[in-house]
Structure formats: structure tokens, C-alpha cells
Amino acid sequence: MDNPKFKSDVNAHLTCQAQTIYAEGHWKTQTIATLSNNYQRQTYPSSEQVIFDMSKVEALDTAGLWLLSKIMHYLRQSDKKIMLQGLSEKQNLILEKLLSNDTEKPAVSKKLDFITRLGVQVEAVNKLVVSFIMFLGEISFYLFGWIKNIQSIRWKAVLSNIDSAGLQASGIVALLSFLIGLVLAYQVGAQLQSYGATIYVVDLLGLSLLREFAPLLTAIIVAGRSGSAFAAQIGTMKLNEEVDALKTLGVSPVEILVLPKVLGLLIALPLLTILASCFALLGGMVMSKMMLGISLIDFLARFGDVIKLKTLLLGEIKTPVFAIMISAIGCFQGFMVTNSAASVGRRTTISVVHSIFMIIVCDALFSIIFSALGV
């Protein structure tokens, strides 16, 4: 049976007399628990100068020295000066190391100045742009491989994406384009009517819808609808470790997951743009008839005289670039999802914002190029 008195004597404890603190017992891993939990409730000498005597300690290991450093640090916080006695040279060296680690370092302000924050943001954008360019290069590599070997194209996956990104989006594209045609004809017609030049509404509608509004509006709708779906789909697959499984099998996720989406949208977006142009013109014709009294025959006759096939083609030239931007950005953001459900939503939102931004940038570049070429 254990002797309670013996056990109490073995446990590390402190005794205070006048200005001296006496450490007694065994200061080892197995015996310091009680003192370690209660040393802050111990009564210590009130004087500023304190002697800490370790000569009565029967056994001392690194755990005991660690506790000693904690007690000394606690006393120093009360502005007490400690004179330590009873330790060997080796024990003093270990204690000094422990005390240096316990010394509180001044808090470093985490608030960065404007220039530093700007530099951090620029570096992050630079890394993002480089990663995206590398991603586009990987897409191009596999796309040219498909073009060289038509039999390797996964037509089932491509047709599935044409259906989801193109056919299923035709309703909303047609409706919004029709409404845009109505509104544009109303706004333009109201201005031209005061000058008696209502027939020129056909010229303005034809040029603006075929060259700008139809491609731009369709691309923005598809970015919000299909681009976000691409990001969410790939992001969820990455969250479920399906992307890692493909890599483990030696299969490229870009070739299997991204390429069918890119090729499907390359086919679907130009067709959707033609559909949008037709319904936007239909909306313009309806409003021209109701507001300006321009008959369907007069509208079509004027349209055929002033609007050339080149106008439609200039709008259609933009759509493959828009399609690549939408599909590539959506898939790229999907691959950037981390191990959380919130990351899927965040990356989906970012994919839509970045896609629309790049669509507008590319459209502006096309306008500059067309102006420089005189077309």
C-alpha cells in the first residue's frame, strides 16, 4: 500500500519563508502535475527581491525545469527579481533556453500598408494569370490532338454539352433577345420619330444587334448559365476526390472533363448567337410596326438593302473566342476548389464574374481591331 505521506513528499511542492522560496520533492514528469496546475494560486514572498532555492530538490528532469521556468516567468510578470540557487551548470543552461522561449515577443502588426497590400494583390493576380495561361496551353495541346485524330473525339460527351449548354439555353436566349429588340427599337424609334427618319431604325437595329448586342448578350447569358455549371460540376468532382481518382488512373482530367465542354460550347455558342439575332430582330420588327408603322415587308426590304452578310459574320467571329473564355474560366475555377463546400460556391461566383469581364474585354479588343481594319 502507498504511504500517503511519502507520496506527498515525493510530489513537487514549494515552501516560502521570508524572502526565500524553497523547492522540494521530486521535480519530474510524474510528480509535477499538482504544482503545475496550482502554482499561480501559491502564496509568494511580497518583497521585490526573491531567492529561489532548488538545493532541496531530490530529483529534477527537463519537465521539472520547464515548470520552474513557468513559475519564474509568472513571478517576473509581478516585477520580482529572482536569484536562483541550487542548480548545476547544465541545468542552468537548459533553464535559460526555456526562459528565452517563454519570453513574450512584441506583437507584430498584421495590418499592411497600402503599397504592401497592392503588391500582394498584384502578385496574386500575376500567379492567377500565369496559371490560367498554362491551363489554356494544356487545353490547346489536347484539342489539337483531337483535331489530328478525329476518332479520339468523345462525341457522346461533346453532344451532351451541346445539348445542356446550347439547346437547353435556347429558350432563355430567345426570350431575352426578343425583349432587347423590343426595348432597343422603342428607344431608337422615339428619337428618330422626332426627326421624321423612322426608317433608319432598321439600320441601327441591324448593325447594333448583329455586330454587338446578340453576340455579347448571348455570351453573358451562357457565362451565367453554363460557365457557372462547369465550375460547380468540376468543383464538386474535386471535392469528392473524383479528379484525383482520374489522375491515379493515368487519365488527364483536362482531356476527359474540360475538352468536351470547350468543344461543345464552340459549336453551341455561334448557333445561339444566330438564334439571338433572329429573335432580337423579330422584337425590333414588332415594336417598329406598333410604334412607327413600319410594315414587315418594308422592314425586311430596308434590312436587305443596308445590312450585309459581313455584319453577321463580324458578330459571329467573336463567338468562338467568347466560348473558349467561358468554358476555360469555368473549368479553371472548378479545379481551384479546395476541400470545403463553401469553396464550390465561391469559385462558381468567381467564374461568372471573370467570364463576363473577359467577354467585355475581348469584345472591346475586337472593336479596336475592326476599326483598325476599317470593317
pLDDT at 1: 37
d(CA 142, CA 107): 51
Q: Which range is least confidently modeled, 79-88, 150-159, 196-205?
A: 79-88
State the chain's maximal CA–CA distance in angstroms. Answer: 116
For the segment 124-145, the average pLDDT, to the nearest whole number, is 90
Per cent of the chain over pLDDT 70 is: 94
Rounded CA-CA distance 346/352 in Å is 10
Query: Which sign does the torsion angle of CA 121, 125, 127, 128 carry?
Result: positive
pLDDT at 365: 95
Percent of the chain with pLDDT over 90: 42
A 10 A CB-CB count for 42 gives 14
Q: Cite the residue boundaries of each domain of the chain with CATH code 3.30.750.24.
A: 9-102
- The pLDDT, as a whole number, for residue 23 is 82
Compute the mean pLDDT over every residue in the chain, rounded to the nearest whole number: 86
C-alpha cell read off for 72: 519564474
3-state secondary structure 166-184: CHHHHHHHHHHHHHHHHHH
Q: What number is the average pLDDT over the span 349-364? A: 95
pTM exceeds cut of 0.85? no
CATH match for 9-102 among 3.30.750.24, 3.30.300.30, 1.10.630.10, 3.90.100.10: 3.30.750.24
Estimate to the nearest angstrom the gap between the alpha carbon of 110 and the chain centroid. Answer: 22
How far is residue 135's CA from residue 373's CA, in Å, rounded to a whole number?
Answer: 31
- pLDDT tens profile 71-101: 888 888 877 788 888 888 888 888 788 777 7
Distance CA 48, CA 75 (A): 10
Q: How far is 211 from 71, CA to CA, in rounded Å?
A: 79
SS3 21: strand
Of 248, 211, 215, 235, the closest CA to residue 323 belongs to 215
What ranges in the chain are assigned the alpha helix state H? 4-10, 33-38, 62-77, 89-102, 114-148, 155-165, 170-193, 201-208, 214-222, 228-239, 242-248, 253, 259-287, 296-306, 309-335, 341-373
Instruction: Please identify which residue in the block is written with the cell numbers 538545493.
Output: 55
pLDDT at 214 over 60: yes
Residue showing cell 448593325? 207
| DSSP state at residue 107 | P
Indicate the length of the chain as a whole number: 375
In contact, 72 and 99? CB cutoff 8 Å: yes
Give the Cα-Cα-Cα angle 311, 313, 314 (nearest 5 degrees).
65
